[in-house]
Amino acid sequence: MKATLVAVLFLLAGCMAGGPPLKTGAPAAAEPASPLGSPFATRPAGESGVPLVIDRTDLRIGTTVQFNRIPSASELYDLRLLLGLAHVVLSLPAWPADYAALDALNRIPEEADLIVVLPGYPPSREAAEAWNLVNARLRMIVVVTTPPPSIGVVGDLNTMRGLERVIAELDQPSRSGFERLQRPLCFRKVVE
């Protein structure tokens, strides 16, 4: 019995010694945030500001990398080091005006697809057509809060090869104005 107690105490002492060092003294300044976040974060899950993309038909085990901006060419090159890269998600705050801003996206690793979430309607035909020049497996989602301002804007959306769907965030779902849209239209209502 004594031998068992000593063995248990020795095992516990070894586990405690192998743990992270205890911090003493005054609390240090906040540590820099990890790019992956912390499982002990105070912010509830889902409030990161970056959309969570779930595709029921995608059964592979892979890594998703998300940006709130267009990444640089070197950042895209560094993605080649990630194991099992499957998706690169861009949740952009606005439409890029022309192709020059999108040129770096041609360096996305071949095994990954590019999912882009854009707010509102394209500001110009050039902004919509610029996405057709991106040489990547492109899936685009446009989130709008109003019906289309003109038939021309719907035509601009229809010319985008990578446009997968339009999500209309309206209080009362209505296809009014979207009749000529040649992509799936979904409605979303956010309740706070």
**Which of 25-29, 114-118, 164-168 is the least confident region?**
25-29
11 sits in which H/E element? helix 2-17
Residue 21 is assigned to a structural domain of this protein: no
22 occurs within a structural domain: no
Note whether residue 63 is domain-resident.
Answer: yes
Q: For residues 45 and 66, give the distance between their C-alpha atoms in angstroms, rounded to a whole number.
A: 15
| Residue 2 located in a structural domain | no
**Residue 33: predicted pLDDT:** 52
For residue 22, what pLDDT is reported? 45
pLDDT in the model for residue 59: 63
Asked if residue 73 belongs to a domain, the reply is yes
Please check whether residue 6 lies inside any domain of the structure: no
Question: Is the Cβ–Cβ distance between 150 and 181 less than 8 Å?
Answer: no
> Which tens digits make up the pLDDT trace of 107-152?
999 889 999 999 999 999 999 999 999 999 999 999 999 999 999 9
Range of the structural domain that residue 160 is part of: 51-188
pLDDT of 53? 63
What pLDDT, on a 0 to 100 scale, did the predictor assign at position 125?
95
What is the structure's pLDDT at 58? 67
Per-residue pLDDT tens digits for 56-107: 666 667 888 999 999 999 999 999 998 889 999 999 999 998 999 999 999 9
Asked if the structure places residue 124 within a domain, the reply is yes
**Can you tell me the distance from the alpha carbon of 113 to that of 123, in angstroms, rounded to the nearest whole number?**
25
How many distinct structural domains can be found in the chain? 1
Any idea how long the chain is? 192
**Is it the case that residue 39 has pLDDT exceeding 60?**
no
Asked if residue 29 belongs to a domain, the reply is: no
Neighbours of 170 (CB within 10 A): 15
CA pair distance 23, 186, nearest whole angstrom: 51
Q: What pLDDT is stored for residue 45 in this prediction?
A: 44
156 close to 138: Cβ distance less than 8 angstroms = no
pLDDT band at 191 (very low <50, low <70, confident <90, very high): confident
Stated as kind and residue range, the H or E segment containing 184 is: none
